[in-house]
Amino acid sequence: MSKNPDAFTRLINALKILPNVGPKSAQRMAYQLLQYRREEAQELVDALQNALKQIHHCRLCNTFCENELCDICADSSRDGKRLMIVHMPADVSNMETANCHDGLYFVLMGQVNPAQGMDISAIALDKLVERLQQSDVEEIIIATNFTAEGDATAYILAELFKTLPYKVSRLSRGIPLGGELEYVDAGTLAQAVYERRMVKE
Distance CA 9, CA 43 (A): 21
Binding segment (CB under 8 A) for its own copies, from list 41-49, 112-120, 135-143, 155-163: 41-49
List 84's β-bridge partners, or say none.
Answer: 105, 141
Smaller CB separation from its own copies, 107 or 141: 107
Of 59, 66, 103, 58, residue with least CA distance to 85: 103
147 binds its own copies (CB under 8 A): no
C-alpha dihedral, 15 to 18 to 23 to 28, nearest 10°? -60
43 lies in the binding site for its own copies (CB under 8 A): yes
Is residue 50 close enough to count as binding its own copies by CB under 8 A? yes
Angle (CA) 135 94 166, round 5°: 25
Pick from 68, 83, 96, 129 the residue near its own copies by CB under 8 A. 96
The site for its own copies (CB under 8 A) is made up of: 1-8, 10-11, 13-15, 17-20, 24-25, 27-35, 37-38, 40-52, 54-55, 64-67, 70-72, 88-90, 92-93, 96-97, 109-110
